[in-house]
C-alpha cells in the first residue's frame, strides 16, 4: 500500500467541499433507507444527471455515501413499522419489531447503529489493506480474464443472489440482449435498432436504470402501500445498556467478518450477508427459540453484516472493474459517465478517486454514527408522509434527470417503457437487479470475448489454456452445475416423501 497516496486521500476528503458532499450523501442515503422501496440503486440512478456538473471525486464520494447510508436507514422502518426500508433489512424485522413491541425500539436502533459502525469500520480497514493488493494482481488480466470474470459475475448474481434462480437467469439474459442494441463496435453493423436512429448508439444505461429502479419502484410501491397507513412505534431511550452491548458483541464481531467476505462476491452483497449472519447467530445460540421474539443478537448480526458487505462491495468495483450488485452497477455507470475507468489501473491513474472514495467511508460512517440516533425522531415524522405526495415529486425529478442527459424526449419515453417493465417484473417476482447488472457487464463480456477469440485465432479452448481465465471458467461451470447436483441429490428424498404422507393419511383415517 502506498502510504503517501493514502494520506493524500485523507487530505482530499477533508476539504470542505468533499466533506459537504459526504454529509449530503449520507443524509440522503439514510432518508432513502427510511422510505420503503426506493432503495440506493434507484436513488443513485435518479441523481446521476446531477453529478455531471460536480467534480468527479466529490460526485463519487456523495454517491458512495448514499449507498452505505441507506443500509442503516432501512433499519428504522424495520424496527418501528415491521416494514423493511431495504432488502438487506428484511431479517432485522424479525427481532427488531418484536423488541419495539416490548418497548425497546430505542435499544434495537442503538445497537443497530453501533453494529453498523463497527461492521463498516472493520470492512473499510480490510478494503484499505486488500484493495491495492487485488488491483496489483488484476494487472495480469487480459481480455480472456475479463470475459470469464464478467460472465461469472452475471451467473453468480442469478445463482447465489436473492429471489428465484430461473427468473434471475431470464432477467440476466434479457440484460445481455439489451446490451447488444446499437452499432457493433467491431464491424459497424446496426443491431436491433429497427431502423431507429435514436437507438444507433445503443440504449443509455442511465435511462434503463432510472426506468427499472425509479419509475418501476414508484409504481410498485404506490400499489403496495395504497390504503395501508402505518403508525410508527414509540422509540424511547436509544442508548443500549452495557448488558445489551455485551450480549451482542459476539454477533457484531461475527457479522463484520461474514459481511466483509460475502460482500466481495458478485451476487452476495448486503442481502445475502444479513441472512447468513442471522442464520449463524441462531445456529450457535444456546437458546435459538429467542430469535424472532426479541433477541438483541437478531438485530446486531444482520445490521453489522449488511454494512460490512456494503463497504467490501467496493473491492471488485474499484480494483477489477466488476460491479458486485445492482447498486455497484449504478456506481460503475457513474464512474464511466464521469470519465473514470474502474479497474486495476485506477490506483495508478486516479489515486485521488481510489483513495478519496475509500477514505471518505471512514468519515462517512463516523457521521452516520453521530447522526443516526439524534435524527430518529425526524425520520419517524417523515414516515407519516403519504406515498401519494412523495411519488409525484420523485417521478418529476426522474423525468427531468433523464431529459437533461441528452435533451431528448425519446429518452423519456424509453424510460417510461422500462418503468412499466420494471413494475411488471416486480409484480411477477422478477428482480430488476440481475437485468441491470447483466446490461452493464454485457458489453464487457462481448468485447472481451471477441478480442480473446482474435488472440486465440478463433479457438475457444484458448480460454482454458491461460491459468487465470481457465480457473475462472472452471468456477463458472461448478457454479452452473451446483443447482443441478443439488436437485439430483434431493430426488430420492422427494421420491419417498409421498409414501410417508400416504401412510400418515391412512393412519389418520
Three-state secondary structure string covering 373-427: CCCHHHHHHHCCCCHHHHHHHHHHHHHHHHHHHHCCHHHHHHHHHHHHHHHHHHH
Residue predicted with more confidence, 334 or 35: 334
**Minimum mean pLDDT range among 66-70, 238-242, 492-496:** 492-496
Segment 389-405 shows an average pLDDT of 73
Instruction: Look at residue 501 in the predicted model and tell me its pLDDT.
Output: 47
* 211 pLDDT higher than 70: yes
48-84 burial string, b = 16+ CB within 10 Å, else e? bbebeebebbbbbbbbbbbbbbbbbbbbbbbbbbbbb
Contact 473, 463 (CB under 8 A): yes
pLDDT band of residue 506 (cuts 50, 70, 90) is very low
Instruction: Look at residue 131 in the predicted model and tell me its pLDDT.
Output: 81
* 233 pLDDT higher than 60: no
Specify burial of residue 495 (Cβ count, 10 A radius: 0-12, 13-18, 19+): exposed
Q: Is 37 helix (H, G, I), strand (E, B) or coil?
A: coil
- Considering the chain, what percentage of its residues have pLDDT values greater than 90? 4
* 50 pLDDT higher than 50: yes
Specify burial of residue 188 (Cβ count, 10 A radius: 0-12, 13-18, 19+): exposed
Instruction: Look at residue 503 in the predicted model and tell me its pLDDT.
Output: 45
Residue predicted with more confidence, 394 or 266: 394
Tell me: the pLDDT tens digits for 425-450?
A: 888 888 777 787 788 778 878 888 88
Tell me: the pLDDT tens digits for 444-468?
A: 788 888 888 888 888 888 888 888 8
Cα–Cα distance, 404 to 27 (Å, whole number): 25
Cα–Cα distance, 474 to 489 (Å, whole number): 21
The percent helix, strand, coil of the chain (3-state, each to 5) is: 75, 0, 20
Contact 371, 27 (CB under 8 A): yes
Instruction: Identify each DSSP E strand in 150-305 by its residue range.
Output: 182-183, 190-191
Candidates 488, 446, 449, 484; CA nearest to 469 is 449
* 286 pLDDT higher than 70: yes
Cα–Cα distance, 168 to 354 (Å, whole number): 31
pLDDT band of residue 254 (cuts 50, 70, 90) is very high
pLDDT band of residue 507 (cuts 50, 70, 90) is very low
Cα–Cα distance, 316 to 327 (Å, whole number): 13
Segment 274-280 shows an average pLDDT of 81
Contact 236, 108 (CB under 8 A): no
* 505 pLDDT higher than 50: no
Contact 331, 341 (CB under 8 A): no
Residue 428: partners with Cβ closer than 8 Å, 6 or more residues away: 167
Segment 347-368 shows an average pLDDT of 86
How distant, in Å, are the alpha carbons of 35, 158, 472, 485, 499 from that of 266?
26, 10, 13, 21, 41
Instruction: Look at residue 268 in the predicted model and tell me its pLDDT.
Output: 55
Instruction: Look at residue 509 in the predicted model and tell me its pLDDT.
Output: 37
Instruction: Look at residue 20 in the predicted model and tell me its pLDDT.
Output: 92
**Minimum mean pLDDT range among 63-67, 360-364, 441-445:** 441-445
Segment 287-307 shows an average pLDDT of 86
Cα–Cα distance, 251 to 226 (Å, whole number): 37
Cα–Cα distance, 326 to 501 (Å, whole number): 43
Cα–Cα distance, 389 to 423 (Å, whole number): 19
- pTM, two decimal places: 0.66
**How many C-alpha atoms does 59 have within 13 Å on its Cβ side?**
23
Instruction: Look at residue 253 in the predicted model and tell me its pLDDT.
Output: 92
* 128 pLDDT higher than 70: yes
Segment 275-279 shows an average pLDDT of 80
Phi, psi dihedral angles at 170 (to 5 degrees): -65, -45
- Quote the mean pLDDT of the chain: 78
Could you tell me which residues are beta bridge partners of residue 183?
190
Instruction: Look at residue 252 in the predicted model and tell me its pLDDT.
Output: 92
Specify burial of residue 308 (Cβ count, 10 A radius: 0-12, 13-18, 19+): buried
pLDDT band of residue 232 (cuts 50, 70, 90) is low
Helix (H) or strand (E) holding 55: none
Amino acid at each position: 500500500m502506498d502510504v503517501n497516496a493514502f494520506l493524500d486521500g485523507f487530505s482530499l476528503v477533508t476539504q470542505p467541499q468533499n466533506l459537504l458532499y459526504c454529509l449530503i450523501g449520507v443524509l440522503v442515503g439514510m432518508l432513502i433507507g427510511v422510505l420503503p422501496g426506493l432503495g440506493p440503486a434507484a436513488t443513485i440512478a435518479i441523481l446521476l444527471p446531477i453529478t455531471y456538473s460536480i467534480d468527479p471525486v466529490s460526485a463519487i464520494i456523495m454517491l458512495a455515501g448514499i449507498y452505505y447510508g441507506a443500509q442503516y436507514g432501512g433499519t428504522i422502518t424495520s424496527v418501528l413499522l415491521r416494514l423493511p426500508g431495504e432488502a438487506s433489512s428484511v431479517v432485522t424485522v424479525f427481532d427488531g419489531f418484536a423488541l419495539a413491541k416490548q418497548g425497546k425500539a430505542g435499544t434495537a436502533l442503538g445497537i443497530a447503529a453501533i453494529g453498523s459502525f463497527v461492521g463498516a469500520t472493520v470492512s473499510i480497514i480490510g478494503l484499505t489493506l486488500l484493495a491495492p493488493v487485488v488491483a496489483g494482481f488484476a494487472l495480469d488480466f487480459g481480455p480472456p480474464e475479463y470475459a470469464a470474470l464478467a460472465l461469472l459475475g452475471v451467473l453468480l448474481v442469478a445463482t447465489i443472489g436473492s429471489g428465484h434462480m430461473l427468473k434471475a437467469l431470464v432477467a440476466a439474459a434479457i440484460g445481455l440482449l439489451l446490451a447488444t442494441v446499437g452499432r457493433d463496435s467491431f464491424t459497424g453493423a446496426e443491431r436491433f435498432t429497427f431502423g431507429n436512429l435514436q437507438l444507433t448508439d445503443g440504449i443509455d444505461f442511465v435511462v434503463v436504470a432510472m426506468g427499472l429502479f425509479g419509475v418501476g419502484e414508484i409504481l410498485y410501491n404506490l400499489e403496495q402501500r395504497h390504503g395501508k397507513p402505518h403508525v410508527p412505534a414509540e422509540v424511547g431511550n436509544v442508548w443500549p445498556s452495557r448488558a445489551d452491548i455485551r450480549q451482542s458483541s459476539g454477533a457484531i464481531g461475527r457479522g463484520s467478518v461474514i459481511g466483509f467476505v460475502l460482500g466481495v462476491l458478485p451476487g452476495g452483497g448486503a442481502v445475502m450477508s444479513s441472512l447468513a449472519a442471522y442464520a449463524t447467530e441462531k445456529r450457535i445460540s444456546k437458546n435459538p427459540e429467542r430469535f424472532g421474539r426479541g433477541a438483541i443478537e437478531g438485530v446486531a448480526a444482520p445490521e453489522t453484516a449488511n454494512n460490512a458487505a456494503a463497504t467490501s462491495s467496493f473491492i471488485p468495483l474499484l480494483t477489477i472493474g466488476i460491479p458486485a450488485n445492482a447498486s455497484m452497477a449504478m456506481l460503475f455507470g457513474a464512474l464511466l459517465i464521469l470519465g473514470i475507468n474502474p479497474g486495476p489501473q485506477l490506483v495508478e491513474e486516479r489515486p485521488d478517486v481510489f483513495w478519496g472514495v475509500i477514505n471518505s467511508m471512514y468519515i462517512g460512517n463516523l457521521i452516520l454514527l453521530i447522526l443516526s440516533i439524534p435524527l430518529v425522531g425526524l425520520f419517524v415524522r417523515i414516515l407519516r408522509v403519504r406515498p401519494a405526495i412523495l411519488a409525484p415529486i420523485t417521478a418529476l425529478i426522474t423525468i427531468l434527470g433523464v431529459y437533461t442527459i441528452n435533451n431528448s424526449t425519446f429518452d423519456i419515453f424509453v424510460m417510461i417503457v422500462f418503468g412499466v417493465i420494471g413494475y411488471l417484473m416486480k409484480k411477477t417476482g422478477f428482480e430488476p437487479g440481475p437485468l441491470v447488472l447483466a446490461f452493464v457487464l454485457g458489453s464487457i463480456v462481448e468485447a472481451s470475448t471477441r478480442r480473446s477469440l482474435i488472440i486465440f485465432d478463433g479457438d475457444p479452448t484458448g480460454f482454458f489454456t491461460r491459468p487465470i481465465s481457465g480457473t475462472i471458467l472452471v468456477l463458472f461451470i461448478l457454479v452452473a452445475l451446483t443447482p443441478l447436483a443439488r436437485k439430483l441429490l434431493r430426488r430420492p428424498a422427494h421420491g419417498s416423501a409421498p409414501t410417508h404422507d400416504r401412510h400418515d393419511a391412512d393412519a389418520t383415517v
